[in-house]
Amino acid sequence: MNLLLLAAAWGVLMMFLSVSGISRATIRTIAQVGMGLLFLSTVAELQGIVFYDLNAPAMLGVDRYALVMLSVLSGCGLLYFLLSAKDMADVGSDYSEYFALIFFIFCGFVLVLSFTSLLMLFLGIEIVTIPLYILTGADKRNLKSNEASLKYFLLGAFSTGIMLMGIALVYGARGSFSTLELVGASGIPTQLLLGGLFLIFFSLAFKVSVAPFHFWTPDVYDGAPTVFTSFMATLVKVAAFAGFLRLFDHGFGSLKSSWQIWAGILAVLTLIIGNMTAVYQQSVKRMLAYSSIAQAGFMMLGVYGLGDAAKEGMILYGASYSLATIGMFAVLTRMQDQTVEGFNGLAKQQPWISALLAVFLLSLAGIPLTAGFLAKFYMLQAALPATYGMAVVIVAVIMAAVSVYYYFRVLQAIYFREPSEGVSFPAFAPGFVRILTVIALLIILLGLQPGWLLRYLYF
């Protein structure tokens, strides 16, 4: 649990730096160093080096799954900071606070990934979402940002209320919040327990934006400042899904006959709605928002399938999806025209950036040799043994083919269109290009050798 302490301490440090009057460049460096330490300390814990052990097994219990997921999240967080920390300065004047909030969100990630009590799940989700409401509204003068933050806040608080009601009902049925005692020895659930289970299930589906509870996602992702959309759509969503899987695998796993079919239905609905609407988007930012819903459909297959295969899939999917989307958003933030046409003819002027973007888009679409392909493969493999698994997998494969259309439209604009008059592409700093190259290499490496990451799950 190195990450928990370090992230909290660094969050407080960043908060105090905002009144110290030091320059933005220094603040940025301190934040990047902090995120690097977060990553290193999690990797160290994976190797058995623990600086700080919170001995509270009734509340938090770190297992390999949580640790690998946290390493993926903090690693992607580090790359995100290296790529996009500069762009945060354009959002508003509270530069240091943005970093502080992101470090606090990482504390929430630890709770969401290692809870053994529903209390910690609730606290973790709140610690993740409350700073997000602020980050969404960070662009205070921009009406779209205001709207997005209010909408996110009202719907988020509403779904929290529903989750709490679910937890209360489960508590009434079982007399305990521990995830180990959620289901009795007899395995026959009472009405109270089932009611609670479904309320928790639907509210978590709401948090991870699975259809039909996805309607807030495109507006919020579109309205939020693009740097923060990148963070919300990747790390936060992956962490929420990992917690979702953890609860329904460890906690409610033995009751799956009653809820598994619903997970399947939501997954299919999400895949269809997310992909079909993404096809019609003109703005790349909105397209990525819908594509994040579509990708959520694939991650939902993990919750549907359960077991070790789903955990492997979730980790690989989290890594590949986060890497590719963070890269896409980092380039998108710097584009002048954020529609598909804005990318016209990029390859003629910036061939290397275009090649990197191509890797990201191919990975999102799930083309072999990229991590996206294997991630989708693992998810389908996890879903196959479930009841009606075959039907769900067939829908997922068809929808993956649909997704190729809208990802390739951007690719086509980059490579096969002439640049429009008067549009100039930004110059990318060499450091920025280097980090993007690292991300693309990681995607290809994971696509060739997923065991490189997944072996940490077992030893």
Partner 1 sequence: MPINYYLFLSLALFSIGMVGVLTRRNAIIIFMCIELMLNAVNLLLVAFSKMHHLKNLATSATAGTDGQLFVFFIMVVAAAEVSVGLAIIVMMYRNIHSVDIQFLNRLKH
Please give the residue ranges that form the binding site for partner 1 (CB under 8 A): 119, 122-123, 126, 130, 133-134, 137, 140-141, 143-144, 146-151, 153-154, 157-158, 160-162, 164-165, 167-169, 171-172, 175-177, 219, 222-223
CB of 328 to partner 1, least distance (A): 21
Give me the sign of the Cα torsion angle 386, 390, 393, 395: negative
Pick the closer one to partner 1 by CB: 157 or 427.
Answer: 157
Rounded distance, CA 440 to CA 445, Å?
Answer: 9
- Minimum distance between the CB of residue 216 and partner 1, rounded to whole angstroms? 10
Q: At its nearest, how many Å lie between partner 1 and the CB of residue 92?
A: 11
Q: At 184, give phi and psi (nearest 5°).
A: -70, 170
Cis check: omega of the bond before 212, within 30 degrees of 0: yes
Quote the least distance from Cβ 329 to partner 1, whole Å.
19
> Given the complex with partner 1, which of 196 and 372 has the nearer CB atom?
196
**Which residue(s) pair with 286 in the sheet?**
none
Cα separation of 358 and 372, whole Å? 13
Token code pair at residue 16: 């105090």
Give the whole-angstrom CA distance, residue 5 versus residue 377. 36
347 is written with which tokens? 């390859």
Cα–Cα distances (Å) from 17 to 24, 32, 94, 99, 293, in that order, read 10, 14, 11, 10, 36
Whichever of 20 and 191 has its CB closer to partner 1, that residue is: 191
- Rank residues 155 and 324 by Cβ distance to partner 1 and give the closer one: 155
- Residue positions counted in the chain: 459
Q: Which is nearer to partner 1, 24 or 140 (CB)?
A: 140
Radius of gyration, CA atoms only, the chain: 21
Residue among 171 and 388 whose Cβ is closer to partner 1: 171
- To partner 1, the closest distance from the beta carbon of 1 in angstroms equals 19
Q: Which is nearer to partner 1, 126 or 341 (CB)?
A: 126
* Residue 324 CB, nearest approach to partner 1 (Å): 26
Beta bridge partners of 41: none
State how far the alpha carbon of 218 is from the alpha carbons of 223, 263, 379, in Å.
8, 22, 24
Shortest spacing between CB 147 and partner 1, in angstroms: 5
- The least distance separating partner 1 from the CB of residue 355, rounded to whole angstroms, comes to 32
Task: Report the alpha-carbon distance of residue 335 to residue 424 in Å, rounded.
Answer: 9
Q: Which is nearer to partner 1, 77 or 137 (CB)?
A: 137
The DSSP string of 172-213 is HHHS--BGGGSS-TT----HHHHHHHHHHHHHHHHHTT-TTS
What is the nearest approach in angstroms of partner 1 to the Cβ of residue 170?
10
**CB closer to partner 1, 289 vs 306:** 289
**What would the 3-class secondary structure string for 67-123 be?**
HHHHHHHHHHHHHHHHHHHHHHCCCCCCHHHHHHHHHHHHHHHHHHHHECEHHHHHH
